[in-house]
A and B are shown apart, each in its own frame.
Chain A
Amino acid sequence: MNPNFLEFEQPIAELEAKIEELRLVGNGSEVNISEEIRRLQDKSIGLTESIFKNLTSWQISQLARHPHRPYTLDYLRRVFTDFDELHGDRTFADDAAIVAGIARIEGRPVMVIGHQKGRSVKEKVRRNFGMPRPEGYRKALRLMEMAERFRLPIVTFIDTPGAFPGIDAEERGQSEAIARNLMVMSRLRVPIIATVVGEGGSGGALAIGVCDHLQMLQYSTYSVISPEGCASILWRSADKAPDAAEAMGLTAGRLHELGIVDEVLPEPLGGAHRDYDQMAERVRQSLLVQLDKLGSLAPDELVSRRYKRLAGYSNVAGKPGAE
C-alpha cells in the first residue's frame, strides 16, 4: 500500500504506479510510449474524479487528517508576505501547537493565528500534534487583543484534533483558557475570518474560531467530538467511527446546508495536498473578498452582527421572547 494515498485512493495509487513504471521504461527505450502514458493519465484523472464525487463522511475525515495536507505555515508562506511570528503567552510558555504573528495580504497588515501540526516525528512531538495547551490559547488571545488595539483584522486557520487532554493542561486551566477566548472574541472590534483547513476538533478549534465569516475547505471537518470519540461513547466501540462521522454531519458541505458554515472552498482534484499553490490561491481570494466586505463595517456594527450570528446557531421549538 502506498502511504501517500489513503485506503480508498489505492486504485488511483496503482494507476499512478503503472504510469511511473512506464515512464522509467520509456526513458530507457526507443519506443514512444508517451501516448500510452497520456491515456493512463487521463484514466487516472477520471478515476480520481469518480472516487472523489462520492466520498463518505469518514473518507473526508481521513482526507482532513491526510499527512500531506497543507498546514497553517504552508498557507502563511503562500497567502501572506512579511510574516513575523510572535511567541509566548507572557505568563508561562510558548506553545508551538499554535503559530501566530503579523503579516500582510496584498499589502494589508493582518494578524494571523493558526493551529500547527508537524510533519516529521520530531516536529509532530514539538507541535504536540496540533493540540494546544492553555498557553497556546492565551498566546492567541494576547495577540488578538493586540490586533484590536492596532486595528488589524484577524485571520485564523483551524486544524486541530482538539485541545490537549493532559494533566498539565488541566492544572493550568484548559477550560478557562478556551472559555475566555470565546467570550473575548465575541466582542473584538476588528473583523475575524476563520478558515477550517483540516480538522476542526471541538472546543480546541472553536477557541480560535468565533468569527464574522466561517469558511471551510471542501474536505475539512468540524465537529463537537472526533468520530472515534463519539463512536466509543455512543456506540461503545471506536470501530463505529464511520457511522459517527456520518451521523454528526461534520463535513463542509453538510455544515453549509445546516447554515453553520458560510462558505465552502473547493479543493483541487484529489484534495488540497495535491496542489498547495492552487489551494492557497483560493484561500487568498476568499480572504480578500471578506476583508473588503467586513472591513467596510463600523466596529459597533461588526460586534452586533457577530452576536446575532452566534445567537442564530439554534434549533429549538417554542415561543420567541424571554419569559
Chain B
Amino acid sequence: MSGGNWLEKILPSVRKGDADSRRASVPEGLWRKCPRCDSVIYRPELERNLDVCPKCEHHLRINARTRLSLFLDDGPQSEIGADIEPVDRLKFKDSKKYKDRLTAAQKDTGEKDALICLRGKVNGLPVVAAAFEFGFMGGSMGSVVGERFLRSVDVCLENRLPFVCFAASGGARMQEALFSLMQMARTSAALQRMRDAGLPFISVLTDPVYGGVSASLAMLGDINVAEPGALIGFAGPRVIEQTVRQKLPEGFQRSEFLLEHGAIDMIVHRRDMKDTLHRLLANLTHAPLPAA
C-alpha cells in the first residue's frame, strides 16, 4: 500500500457498512474504524487490545483462529475433524450455486467450513474448544459444523474433557435445507451426552448469535457467557419488527438485555475471558487453581 492517504484505505470498507465482519480476515491497511463510536484506530494498537475498541470498549468481531489462539495456551494443539468437508447433496442454487458460495468462502477464510475445533489447554487445564468462523457464510450451521461439534463431544467423552464453544452465527445454513435444521437436534443431543457424563460445557456467545445456533447449542451451556454488547436472539430484529409492527426497545437482544432477562449467566470482557473460563472450568472439574 504505497501512496495515497490513509483515509482512502479505510473508506471503501467504511462505505460497505458490513465491514466489521469482512475485515477480520482481510488485511487492508493500518487503520480501522470502530463500527460503534467511529473512532479511527491504529491497527497494531487495536490488536494489542484484542480487537476491543480502546475508546468505547466495543468488542469487534474476530475470526475463529484468532479467538482460539486468545483462549488456548501455546503448545500442542490438535484439530478435530479438520479434513471434513461440506457436500452439496441438494445441488442447491439460488442467485448463486451453493458450491460456488462454498468455494468463495473457503478461499476468503482459508477454512473448509464455519466451525473450528481444537483440543488443547487453558492455563494448563486440558479442554476442547470450538469457535464459529463468522466470515464463512455468516457462521451458518450445516452438516460439517454439526459433524465437527459431535466429534468434539466424542473427544470430550473419551478423554473426560470440558468443552467450550464460542458461537458467532446467523443460524442454520439454508443451502443445506432440512439437513441444517437437523444439526440443531444433533448438537443438542450431543450436549445431553456431556450432561449424562458429568462434563461441563460452557457456551460463549459472541456477536452475533441467531436462529438455529441460538436455539440449540449456544443456549445449552451449563454456563452461558456473553461478550459485552453482542447481539443474541432467536429471530432477527427486522423479522420481529415486521411481525409485531412495533419499535424495538433500546438495547433489545444485546448481551446486557439477555443478562437482565435471565438468559445468560454473565458478561465477560474479552481480556478476562480466558482466566474467567479457566476458573469456572477448574471449579466445575475440581481441578487446582493457581495460587493467587
In the complex, identify which listed stretch (A74-82, A105-113, A114-122, A228-236) lies at the interface while the others stay far away. A228-236
Task: Give every chain A residue within 8 A of B252 (Cβ-Cβ).
Answer: 167, 170
Task: Give every chain A residue within 8 A of B239 (Cβ-Cβ).
Answer: 165, 229
Q: Does B206 contact A (CB under 8 A)?
A: no
CB < 8 Å neighbour of B147 from A225, A229, A244, A316: A316
Query: Do residues B189 and A170 form an inter-chain contact, with CB atoms below 8 A?
Result: no
Q: Does A142 contact B (CB under 8 A)?
A: no
Q: Which of B104-150 contact A (CB under 8 A)?
A: 119, 143-144, 146-147, 150
Given contact pairs A234-B174, A314-B186, A316-B87, A173 touches B261 in the complex (Cβ within 8 A)? yes
Q: Which of B135-193 contact A (CB under 8 A)?
A: 143-144, 146-147, 150-152, 154-155, 158, 172, 174-186, 188-189, 191-193
How many residues of A sit at the interface, in one of the four size bands?
A: 35 or more
Query: Do residues B181 and A206 form an inter-chain contact, with CB atoms below 8 A?
Result: yes
Give bound CA distance, A321 to B151, whole Å.
8
Query: Do residues A170 and B177 form an inter-chain contact, with CB atoms below 8 A?
Result: no
Query: Do residues B220 and A235 form an inter-chain contact, with CB atoms below 8 A?
Result: no
Given contact pairs A203-B184, A322-B154, A175 touches B214 in the complex (Cβ within 8 A)? yes
Q: Which of B71-107 contact A (CB under 8 A)?
A: 78-81, 83-87, 89-90, 92-95
Q: Does B228 contact A (CB under 8 A)?
A: no
Give bound CA distance, A321 to B158, whole Å.
12
Query: Do residues A183 and B220 form an inter-chain contact, with CB atoms below 8 A?
Result: yes
A-B contacts, 28 of them at CB < 8 A, read A165-B239, A165-B240, A167-B252, A175-B215, A175-B233, A179-B214, A183-B220, A187-B196, A202-B172, A209-B185, A222-B178, A223-B181, A224-B212, A233-B174, A250-B178, A258-B89, A310-B185, A311-B186, A311-B189, A314-B147, A314-B179, A315-B176, A316-B143, A317-B85, A317-B86, A318-B84, A319-B83, A322-B80
| Residues of B in contact with A (beta carbons under 8 Å apart) | 78-81, 83-87, 89-90, 92-95, 119, 143-144, 146-147, 150-152, 154-155, 158, 172, 174-186, 188-189, 191-193, 195-196, 211-212, 214-220, 232-235, 239-240, 243-244, 246, 248-249, 252-253, 261-263
